[in-house]
Every structure is written in structure tokens, then in C-alpha cells.
Amino acid sequence: MSRIPIPGTWQIGDDPGHRQFVELKGDEQGFALEGGAALRSVTVAFETWGQLNNGATNAVLVLHALSGDSHAEGAAGPGHVSPGWWDALIGPGAPIDTDRYFVVCPNVLGGCQGTTGPSSPDTDNILYGSRFPVITIRDQVAVEAALADELGIGAWAAVIGGSMGAMRALEWSVGYPDRVERAVVLAVSAAASAEQIALCSLQIRAIKSDPAYANGDYYASLTGPSKGLSIARGLGQLSYRTENEFDVRFAREVQDDEVPLHGGRYAVESYLEYQGEKLTRRFDANSYVVLSEAMNHHDVGRGRGGVAEALATVRARVTVAGIASDRLYPLKQQFEIARLLPGDDEVIVIESEFGHDGFLLETEAVGAVVRTALRD
């Protein structure tokens, strides 16, 4: 695979699209990480919509999930292989109204769409690969806080995210209570459960079992661990959707004229292969590993006396929502968050046939949640 000259960017061409880039230095030691290592500097790719007001009081931070990026809104095109992943929620008059708010969406630390990650060069211009350190959700939020400082944003009017993005929204609310006025957390837990860790771990093993993985140092080769990444994505996709959707959509249908008894595929097998192969064209396997491990480390209570004590310190007005059919982050986990937050918060339940992916696909219902949360 050839190296793309945009720092930290994986196979999306030389054009940065609408992204902006900033290099952050951290303190004298750089960015100290929870795992004990440090990064001397971090490049962050981000996109913005709307205008920051004079008092910098109208900024909204939108945070993407595992395979997302900074392109939350806008068409596909140069630098952006896909349309915005929350396109319907951001814009003039949209639930996150860019006539009113200045919206910022950064690519996460450890990612592969412009922000420092395993496919980025280090300070000696050598790609990190296997040398990229262990990171956590808390480390990612520390980098986002440094980005906010760079942009002159002392506090966010709102921090909004689903899944891994909601992990960071919770960390923002706990770790920086004076810098978050409102938060919207969708389809997430306060700490990764054993099952969630297991599912991520199997995906990591699938990638690392690919002979082309080469212990994470595959960038100089003509091929990478695309087969392992494709299998990992298929496992993930299975947990993102629901049994009922698969039954209705695929049942036992075969793919085209293939014959499963003679080596052909069922339609659902073809679907999972397609989802995996599609991801390999735009995402780095090392980033998938690093971010999945960060999700496994997710625990807002770590070093804070536990989840209950940590959530009790939140000062932001938090809206908690979940997807009724979500089998990856079941509703009981959102009810736990709401119960432990100060006040008497309820959980908004979104009905969907799409399971966990409902936070991305049910744009009308999710938009209504966000619009209500941002209402004065």
C-alpha cells in the first residue's frame, strides 16, 4: 500500500477536502497518555460549519464513532470518499443549526483520516506502525481539549456523539465539567462491558491473525491485512444490526445465482463481505485495532472512585438516548447512566429495526432528540 502524503490519512487521495489541520504540542513533555507513553505532538484534522460568535459561546462539538471521521456533513468528493455521516443533522435550520452554532468535528486521536495515528509519521518522519502507543478515550478527549484551546473555545455549548463518540462526550462531561454546558450521549455505556470487550477483542484477533498484518508494520508492503480487517468489520456489522432485520432482509436467500451447497454464498454472507471490503478501501487496520482497544478501555469511573462517583460530578445538562433494538449497547446501559447522573434524567428510547446503527440511520428521530436538547 502506498503512503498518502496527508499526515495520518489512509487511501483517500492527496486532496484534504474540507478538512483543516493543526499541530498541537501539549505541555513540555507533549501529550502524556494514560498507558504511560507520550506523544511529542499531535496533528488533528477537523472540519467546521457555521461561525464562532464573539464570545465563543456557540460552539458545538460533534464526535464520530469507530469508523467515522471529521466529515460529519457534506457531499462525497475530493478528500471525502463518503457523504457526511450525520449529514441530515448539521446545517442551516437542521437540528444542529449552523445559522446558530459553530460546529466542530475532529478526527479522533489514533484515527486514519488526518489525525495522528499508527499510519502517521513520527517526529523523525518514520511511520509509527507497531510503535504507536496504547491510547484511551480519555487521551482522545485530552487532545480534543487542546484543540478547543487552539480554537479559542473555553466551553462547548454542547458535546454530542453516539457509540465511541458518546464515550468521549461522557468523558468530556466528567473530565472537563466546566467546559460542557450540554451533552447528548447516544447508544453507549458508562464502561465497556465484558461482552463489548469480547466482541472488540475478536475483531482485533481477526486483524492480527492475517499474515499480512506483519505485527502492524505493513505500510511498506504492496498489501496489507485487508482480509483480517474485512472479517473484523463483518463481526462488527453483525453486532451493529439485529436478528430481525437480517431475517426480513436476507432470510435464507442465496446471492444471485450462487449455490451454497456447491461453494456459493447466502445473501447475508455476501452482505457481510461487502461491508468488510468497503471498509478496507478507506480505513487502516492498525487504526481499527488501536481504536477498538481504546473502546475496550472505556470506563469513566477509572481512577475516579467508580462509575457512580464519576457521573455524580457532571454539571452539564445531559440528554441520554438509546436504541430499543440495540444488542451491542442495550438500553439497560443508558438507563444506568441516566440513573447515576445528577437530577432525574430520563432515557429517550428510539424505536428502530437497525439496532446499534440506529444512531446513524434514524436521522429524523435522532435529530428530534438533538434539537430538543439544544433548545434553550
The residue ranges of the chain whose pLDDT is under 50 are: 1-7, 10-12
CA–CA gap between residue 178 and residue 49 (Å, rounded): 24
CA–CA gap between residue 229 and residue 142 (Å, rounded): 28
E strands along the chain, which residues? 20-24, 31-32, 38-39, 42-49, 59-63, 90-91, 96-97, 102-106, 158-162, 182-186, 317-323, 347-350
Number of H helices, E strands in the chain: 11, 12
C-alpha grid cell for residue 204? 482485533
Query: What backbone phi and psi angles, to 5 degrees, belong to 292?
Result: -65, -40
Angle 86-92-93 (CA atoms, 0-180°, nearest 5)? 90
State the catalytic residues: 163, 326, 356
Q: Which residue in 118, 173, 103, 167 sits closest to 145, CA to CA?
A: 173
pLDDT tens digits, one per residue of 147-200: 999 999 999 999 999 999 999 999 999 999 999 999 999 999 999 999 999 999
The model carries a pTM of 0.95
C-alpha grid cell for residue 191? 464502561
Q: Are 31 and 139 in contact (CB under 8 A)?
A: yes
Q: Please give the domain boundaries of the chain with CATH numbers for all domains.
A: 20-192+298-374 (3.40.50.1820), 197-294 (1.10.1740.110)
For residue 158, what is the DSSP state? E
pLDDT tens digits, one per residue of 100-124: 999 999 999 999 999 999 999 998 8
